[in-house]
Amino acid sequence: MDKIIGIGNALVDVLVHVSDERLAAMNLPKGSTQFIGREQFIESRNTIAAMNPTRARGGSAANTISALANLGNSSGLIAKTGRDEDGDFYEAECRKAGMDTLLKRSETPTGVATTFITPDGQRTFLDYLGAAVELTADDITDNMLAGYKYLYLEGYLVQNHALVDSVVSIAKRMGMKICLDMASYNIVESDLEYFTTLVRNYVDIVFANEEESLAFTGLEPAKALETIASMCDSEVRSKRLDSRPARRKLRNARKSCRSCGKSGARNRHHRRGRLLRGRIPARPGARPHARRVPGGRHGAFVGNNTGCRGHTPRRTLERSAPPHKRNL
């Protein structure tokens, strides 16, 4: 199995359950994300510690690499933590998850993302990035990427142009495939020109949901899918916001017709096949229907009305009973 290494922000997640009144007393707008500096982080630690928090390993890239490790993939993570107890906790949790850790250490405290959860389930974030943002191009060497087939970049890291430029250049020189998670639509909007350059020149696989693809291309999902796919080797969309018909349409459009070999004809071919099988009625009471014959992805048939336009069909249409009386 091909090995994958990720690079991103190392953050310890701290989860705290609070009342709406307590949240208001802390001057935190409900549902917002606030970023704080080192001094404010140190001041707030004791207050948060008294609220019975739960701690876990976090970070976009780390979560992805952890999931891959759970599936049995030999995965690694490059990130930066502080020389503190949170940093030790983070590394121990990564190793426990089965990841190969290539963590750099800093005198700055480890980044912490505190999440305040109110009784209605709403989350409010107080983030201190800490040592995570101190990862630099000088921290990355060829040896760290040796032996890996894929490089996974989290979009939150893209704002550090010097670091990303260095990493993708090393990865390309070593023949690696580069995967980019676009992270969030506002991240894409704030640095669109750089994202575009990165995808066109270096990225092989893009992960984006509907909102992120809209921010990147300005197009609706199906068109955005085609546009991004034309810029790189392939595109992977979030299942939560994905459009299966759009994915299928793109996949079929990139395949050749089995009858004539003409590129892009496969989509028409499949649709006409479904018409004949009665899945999409051509018109009320339409007959005859095609009989299922060997060959073809769905075990189906191409008849004298099902070939590509202007091309000789491969098989002759056979009459048979309508779908409700057939064994398909």
Q: What is the pLDDT of residue 35?
A: 87
CA distance linking residue 109 with residue 93, whole number of Å: 17
What confidence score (pLDDT) does residue 4 get?
Answer: 95
pLDDT of residue 236: 59
Residue 100: the pLDDT is 92
Are the C-beta atoms of residues 160 and 134 closer than 8 Å to each other? no
210-217 vs 192-201: helix crossing angle, rounded to 10: 100
Q: How many C-beta atoms lie closer than 10 Å to residue 303's C-beta?
A: 22
Which has the closest alpha carbon to 110: 70, 135, 80? 80
Q: For residue 108, what are the contacts with CB-CB under 8 A and spacing of at least 6?
A: 38, 82, 130, 131, 134
pTM of the complete model: 0.67
Amino acid 307: pLDDT: 39
Residues in a beta bridge with 205: 179, 234
Q: What pLDDT is recorded for position 185? A: 86
Which stretches of the chain score pLDDT less than 70? 233-328
